[in-house]
Amino acid sequence: MTTEKNRLAREGWVVLGVVFIFFLFSLAIKWWVSAGIFAIFFIFSVYFFRNPSRQPQGGERDVLSPADGRIVQNEIVYDGKYLNKRCRKIGIFMSLFDVHVNRVPVSGTVEAIAYQNGKYLSANLDKASEDNEQNALIIRTKDDIIISVVQIAGFIARRIVCYPVAGTVLRRGSIFGMIKFGSRLDVYLPEESDIRIRLKQKVRAGETILATLPGEE
């Protein structure tokens, strides 16, 4: 996981470096149009890879949104892929213009990481949860509750980044990865969780509370 010291996602530095080199090269040989295009792409990359500071809200049982975006799904489903039981599923669509840094929804230990190769359907479709390329992070809390956070590639997105490995201890609100250029994150929670969001609501990673896990304070 990364710290809050950097205001640009770690993947962004490489992209910016390459673009800046091409920008300087274009200037050197007086390719003004190319230089202009690279300058615009440099500015867009700074915007896309931005990593604003976030302050986690609520307590340890409150599930934070792992992504910036819009709620596109909130229902009870049977998750036969990762948790093998009925769960509350919350789907978050990340547009090209949302912050793409992903944050840990609950503190706990990574039980497993499951990767699935797949298609690149539009990430705002429910079918993307089944068919698209995805990476699932299975987390067990200190209260022995297991949830999963699934990063799903979209129509434009082609790279999923996930930093932790099995056994990593995670802190809610910390950064665990990102998906490049528009995508979706699904969160699978216990069926009896107390839901705190609604469909089409805009949420912010590491700040918006999606739900409260069952159990006693």
- List the chain domain ranges: 10-48, 62-212
pLDDT at 124 over 80: no
Looking at residues 163-168, what average pLDDT do you find? 94
pLDDT, average across residues 159-170: 92
- Average pLDDT, whole number, for the chain? 88
Looking at residue 1, its pLDDT comes to: 46
**pLDDT at residue 157 in the model:** 54
- Say if residue 150's pLDDT is above 90: yes
- What is the DSSP annotation of 47-87? HHTB-------S-TTEEEPSSSEEEEEEEEEEETTTT-EEE
**Distance, CA of 185 to CA of 78 (rounded, Å):** 17
Task: List the single range of 76-90, 153-167, 203-217 with lowest mean pLDDT.
Answer: 153-167
E-strand ranges in the chain read 62-64, 69-79, 85-94, 101-103, 108-116, 134-140, 146-153, 160-162, 169-170, 175-179, 183-190, 194-195, 202-203, 209-212
Interatomic CA distance for residues 186 and 176, integer angstroms: 15
Active-site residue numbers? Answer: 183
* Residue 163 and residue 151 in contact, taking contact as beta carbons nearer than 8 Å: no
What are the backbone angles phi and psi of residue 116, rounded to the nearest 5°? -130, 120
Predicted TM-score of the model (pTM): 0.84
- The answer on pLDDT for 65 being more than 90 is yes
Select the more confidently predicted residue: 4 or 179. Answer: 179
Average pLDDT over residues 77-104: 92
CATH number among 1.10.3470, 2.40.10, 2.70.70, 1.10.3110, domain 62-212: 2.70.70
Q: How confident is the model at residue 182 (pLDDT cuts 50, 70, 90)?
A: low
More confident residue, 44 or 176: 176
